């Protein structure tokens, strides 16, 4: 990037520009575990040319217009909590951090909606809502370190999603800037039959079509009652069946999580009754009478399990935002990751068994486990964890990719989706074409129409000009 272009960018954001090497290195990665390994090895595979911090949508539009003219990549950056490399500037360019755009613009109590800028921190947003008597119901593990824009761009799901829905269920309207600098906005109405909701193409696009700058979201009154239950089961099949039947009866607990025996041992080792078992924890919240009825139905459907009270749920609540594994284990040479997939109920057990088997088939694997954390009447999200040490003469990244390849093959063989809510980024890119099949061509045509110069987060979501 030439000095003349940098001068033009500075003119747009006089107090929001940096090309210092320190900032460029900081913004060269997200929370993708393998990038930490690279950093520890002294490698920085990709680095942006500069960082900008716009303060309003017009600055975002002006920077993107300039980048489009100069054919310079633009990569959106929120909290840097993504775990698949979606924020890595693989072709350099401008990293656009929108965290200065963090204002809550309007609260509509009558309509139960809130309009907010996309750079707001998740925990700050939820605390503000709680203070005013509401909840968003979107509580990802990364709540402290992620932004609304990141949730929208990667199509996120929070820990309370079984009741409140995923981010696409929560969003009502969007404001965004496209690759040519055009600002688009949709209406904040509950529904509209006016053709395809084109603005929803931006959800899950990982910044490849534009940058989301503002959203109107559904909110809920802060729950008046909360109830917590836990059960242990001899096998994971009975735990899954209990949850399937609960949902089939129209009961949607806010939190539903099943841990297989290995993860139960890791997360609930303090509880004697959990040893050698599969743990199911549930949290119901809302109207007091409704919650009492939900408790009754949950107990009826968990008859094959042993009730363990609320202590395991309290333990989970106290530790749920812990994301320190990478910083603790990667420096010791341990390679690990978490991989989420979604599947219909009919194939759920096959997916669990086959992916666990696939992980264990790779030499060097020490940990192969799973839990479930997002449920539907139609299916479930499995959240697999692998960990191990590469065999001698195998590079860390080669080992990492070998495990991922084994898991993705097992996933697709079970007709499951390769991602439930983490997104595609770099690591899943090679598998996207097999997942989407003919839809991949459609996605590439949309990309070419909206971003003809391929400036928006290039090298992601299937590449450019049909490139894998």
Rounded to 5 degrees, what are φ and ψ at 143? -50, -40
**Could you read off the pLDDT of 165-176 as tens digits, one per residue?**
999 999 999 999
Q: Which residue has the higher pLDDT, 35 or 235?
A: 235
Q: Is the pLDDT of residue 235 over 80?
A: yes
Q: What is the largest CA-CA distance in the chain?
A: 70
Rounded to 5 degrees, what are φ and ψ at 27? -90, 15
- pTM (predicted TM-score): 0.95
Q: Is the pLDDT of residue 463 over 70?
A: no
DSSP notation for 221-265 = EPPSEEEEEEEEESSHHHHHHHHHHHHHTT---SEEEEE-HHHHH
Residue 428, CA atoms < 13 Å, CB-side half-sphere: 30
CATH architecture assigned to 225-319? 2-Layer Sandwich (3.30)
* Cβ neighbours for 234, distance < 8 A, ≥ 6 positions apart: 277, 278
| Residues 47 and 4: beta-carbon distance below 8 Å | no
Instruction: Give the model's confidence band at 329: pLDDT under 50 very low, under 70 low, under 90 confident, else very high.
Output: confident
β-bridge pairing 74-77 and 94-97:
parallel
The CA radius of gyration of the chain, in Å to the nearest whole number, is 22
Q: Based on the number of CB atoms within 10 Å of its own CB, is 207 exposed (0-12), middle (13-18) or buried (19 or more)?
A: buried
CB atoms within 10 A of CB 225: 14
H or E stretch covering 52: strand 50-52
Q: Is the pLDDT of residue 147 over 90?
A: yes
**Could you read off the pLDDT of 45-78 as tens digits, one per residue?**
899 999 999 999 999 999 999 999 999 999 999 9
CB atoms within 10 A of CB 465: 8
Q: Which CATH number fits domain 3-97: 1.10.260.40, 3.50.50.60, 3.30.43.10, 2.40.30.160?
A: 3.30.43.10
Token readout for 39 is 């950093």
CATH architecture assigned to 104-221? 2-Layer Sandwich (3.30)
Residue 408, CA atoms < 13 Å, CB-side half-sphere: 18
| Residues 369 and 325: beta-carbon distance below 8 Å | no
Q: Is the pLDDT of residue 305 over 80?
A: yes
Q: Based on the number of CB atoms within 10 Å of its own CB, is 42 exposed (0-12), middle (13-18) or buried (19 or more)?
A: exposed
Token readout for 250 is 């129209």
Average pLDDT of the residues in 313-325:
89
| Residues 255 and 218: beta-carbon distance below 8 Å | no
- In the chain, where the domains are located: 3-97, 104-221, 225-319, 325-432
Of 38-47, 155-164, 277-286, minimum mean pLDDT range: 38-47
325-432: CATH topology: GMP Synthetase; Chain A, domain 3 (3.30.300)
β-bridge pairing 379-388 and 306-307:
unpaired
Percent of the chain having pLDDT more than 70?
Answer: 98
pLDDT for 323:
73
């Amino acid at each position: 990037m030439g000095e003349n272009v940098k001068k033009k960018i500075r003119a747009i954001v006089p107090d929001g520009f940096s090309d210092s090497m320190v900032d460029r290195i900081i913004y060269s990665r997200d929370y993708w575990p393998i990038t930490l390994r690279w950093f520890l090895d002294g490698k920085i595979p990709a680095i942006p040319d500069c960082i900008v911090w716009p303060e309003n949508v017009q600055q975002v539009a002006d920077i993107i217009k300039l980048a489009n003219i100069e054919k310079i990549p633009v990569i959106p950056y929120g909290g840097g909590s993504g775990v698949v490399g979606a924020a890595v500037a693989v072709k350099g360019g401008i990293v656009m951090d929108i965290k200065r755009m963090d204002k809550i613009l309007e609260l509509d109590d009558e309509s139960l909606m809130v309009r907010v800028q996309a750079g707001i921190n998740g925990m700050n947003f939820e605390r503000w809502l709680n203070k005013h008597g509401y909840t968003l119901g979107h509580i990802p593990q990364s709540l402290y370190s992620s932004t609304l824009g990141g949730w929208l761009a990667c199509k996120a799901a929070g820990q309370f999603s079984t009741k409140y829905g995923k981010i696409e269920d929560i969003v009502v309207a969007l404001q965004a800037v496209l690759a040519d600098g055009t600002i688009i906005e949709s209406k904040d109405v509950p529904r509209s039959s006016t053709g395809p909701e084109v603005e929803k193409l931006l959800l899950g696009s990982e910044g490849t079509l534009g940058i989301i700058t503002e959203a109107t979201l559904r909110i809920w009154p802060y729950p008046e009652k909360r109830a917590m239950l836990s059960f242990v089961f001899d096998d994971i099949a009975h735990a899954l069946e209990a949850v399937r039947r609960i949902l089939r009866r129209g009961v949607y607990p806010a939190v539903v999580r099943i841990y297989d025996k290995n993860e139960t041992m890791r997360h609930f080792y303090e509880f004697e009754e959990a040893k050698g078992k599969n743990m199911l924890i549930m949290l119901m919240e809302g109207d007091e009478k409704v919650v009492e009825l939900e408790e009754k139905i949950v107990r009826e459907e968990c008859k094959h399990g042993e009730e363990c009270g609320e202590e395991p749920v309290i333990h989970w609540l106290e530790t749920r935002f812990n994301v320190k594994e990478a910083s603790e284990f990667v420096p010791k040479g341990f390679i690990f990751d978490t991989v989420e997939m979604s599947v219909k109920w009919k194939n759920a057990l096959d997916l669990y068994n086959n992916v666990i088997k696939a992980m264990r088939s790779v030499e060097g694997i020490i940990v192969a486990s799973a839990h479930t954390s997002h449920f539907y009447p139609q299916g479930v999200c499995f959240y697999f964890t692998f960990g191990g040490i590469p065999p001698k003469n195998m590079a860390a990244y080669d080992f990492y990719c070998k495990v991922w390849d084994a898991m993705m093959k097992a996933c697709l063989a079970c007709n499951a989706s390769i991602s439930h809510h983490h997104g595609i980024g770099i690591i899943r890119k090679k598998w996207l074409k097999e997942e989407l099949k003919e839809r991949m061509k459609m996605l590439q045509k949309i990309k070419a129409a909206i971003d003809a110069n391929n400036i928006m987060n290039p090298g992601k979501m299937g590449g450019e000009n049909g490139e894998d």
